[in-house]
Amino acid sequence: MYCHDEEPSPLLVSWQDAFRDAPVAPVLDLACGHGRNGLWLARRGRDVVFADRDAEALDGIAEVLSQEGLPGRIWCIDLETRLPDLDDDSFSAILVFRYLHRPLFPLLRRALAPGGYLFYETFTWEQPQYGRPSNPDFLLQPGELRREFGAWDEVHYFEGVDPEKPQAISQWVGQKPRLAIAELPPLPA
C-alpha cells in the first residue's frame, strides 16, 4: 500500500523558496504518480493540478485532497497517447520527476507562465548500469535539459550519480524569463 506521506523530492524541498517569486497560478505536477511532490506543495497552500494516467493513484490523491481540505485538481490523461491541451502561460510551476516524454518539451515551454519555474528530474543515459529504466527513450542524453530549456534562467543543474541511491540522474530547475521590455507593445503617441 502506498503512503501519501512519502517525502517529496529533495530537489523540490531545497528550492521551495522559488515559489515566493513565482506567479500566482496553479502548479502542474506532470506524471505525478501518487503525488508526493504535488501533495507536499498543496499542504503548503499551493493549488496543484495532478496529471497522470493511473486513475487509481489519482483517486488516492483526490481522497487526500478531500480529507485534508487541500487545493488541487485531478487530471487523468495518458501523456503518451494524446498530447495535452495546455493554455499558454497557465502554470506558476511545472514539476516533472522520473518521467521523460520528449514531445512534451514544447508544451512545457508554452504552458509555464513568465517568471514561473520548471523542476525537472529524471534518469540519464548512465542509468542502466544502476538499474531500470534502460530504454533509451526514457533516458536523457548528456546536457539534454540544458539544451532544451537553455534560454531560461538556470537556477540549479546537476547531472551525475546520486550517491545516496545510486542512480544516474539529471536535475534542472529554471525560471522562464519574465516579459522583456522589448516585448512590450509600444506606448501610444
Does residue 5 sit within a domain? no
How does pLDDT run across 102-128, given as a tens digit for each residue?
Answer: 999 999 999 999 999 999 999 989 888
User: How would DSSP label each residue in the chain?
Assistant: ---TTPPPPHHHHHTTTHHHHS-SSPEEEET-TT-HHHHHHHTTT--EEEEES-HHHHHHHHHHHHHHT--EEEEE--TTTS-----TT-EEEEEEES---GGGHHHHHHHEEEEEEEEEEEEBTTGGGTSS---GGGSBPTTHHHHHTTTSEEEEEEEEEETTTTEEEEEEEEEPPPPPGGGSPPPP-
Does residue 4 sit within a domain? no
How does pLDDT run across 40-99, given as a tens digit for each residue?
Answer: 999 999 999 999 999 999 999 999 999 999 999 999 999 998 888 888 889 999 999 999
Domain count, the chain: 1
Does residue 171 sit within a domain? yes
Does residue 2 sit within a domain? no
- What percent of the chain clears pLDDT 90, i.e. is strictly above it? 68
Does residue 188 sit within a domain? no
- Domain membership of residue 33 as a residue range: 10-183
Does residue 110 sit within a domain? yes
Tell me the whole-structure pTM to 2 decimals: 0.89
What's 116's domain CATH number?
3.40.50.150
